[in-house]
Homo-oligomer: A and B are copies of this chain.
Amino acid sequence: MQAVDPDYDKRVRESFARQGAMAHIGAALRRVEPGLVEIDLPYRPELSQQHGFFHAGMVATVADSAGGYASYTLFPADSSVLTVEFKVNLIAPADGDCVRAVGQVIRSGRTLTVCELRAYVRKNGAETQCLHGMATVMCLAGRSDRGPAQAGK
Task: Name A residues whose Cβ lies closer than 8 Å to a Cβ of B.
Answer: 15-16, 18-25, 44-53, 55-58, 60-62, 64-65, 80, 82-93, 95, 106-107, 109-112, 114, 116, 129, 132-134, 136, 138, 145, 147-153
26 contacts between A and B (CB under 8 A): A18-B50, A19-B50, A20-B45, A21-B46, A21-B55, A23-B46, A24-B47, A56-B86, A57-B57, A57-B58, A57-B61, A57-B64, A60-B86, A83-B90, A85-B88, A85-B89, A85-B90, A87-B87, A91-B107, A92-B151, A93-B149, A95-B151, A106-B129, A106-B132, A110-B153, A111-B153
A60–B60 touching, CB < 8 Å: yes
Bound Cα distance A22, B87 (Å): 21
Q: How far is the CB of A55 from chain B (nearest CB, A)?
A: 4
Residues A48 and B19 in contact, CB atoms below 8 Å apart = yes
Interface centre among A44, A57, A60, A132 (most CB of B within 10 A): A57
Contacts A45-B20, A49-B21, A60-B61; A107 near B129 (Cβ below 8 A):
yes
